Amino acid sequence: MEIKPLNDMVLLSQVEAEEVTKGGIILPESAKEHPAEGIVEAIAADATDEVAIGDRVLYKKFSGEEIVVDGKKYRLVPAGDLLAKYVESDTIPE
């Protein structure tokens, strides 16, 4: 099944939470902090030109609506709630 976002929405596949801390402690499911980041899977036609399909983005923590399609978790987020995207770079621009 394919999902096509409407009304300025962006469809994200959610990035999984860390299972082990940097110190080596294994976290149970109830203690994991779910990151507010995802991979752009689809974009509404009028949503934004700043991200493309496949970009890894950060969004507001409690933004959007979680949906499950064919057993996979997705999040529909308004384009205005996207905060940043990861970019490949040698240095941070000033």
CATH number at 43 reads 2.30.33.40
Domain presence at residue 1 = no
pLDDT of 9-66, one tens digit each?
Answer: 999 998 765 565 566 666 665 555 566 889 999 999 888 889 999 999 999 988 889 9
Domain presence at residue 75 = yes
Whether this model's pTM surpasses 0.85: no
Domain presence at residue 91 = no
The angle formed by the CA atoms of residues 69, 70 and 74, to the nearest 5 degrees, is: 35
User: What's the domain range around 47?
Assistant: 9-84
Domain presence at residue 64 = yes
Name the region of 70 (left: φ>0; alpha: ψ -120 to 50; beta: rest): left
Count of structural domains within the chain: 1
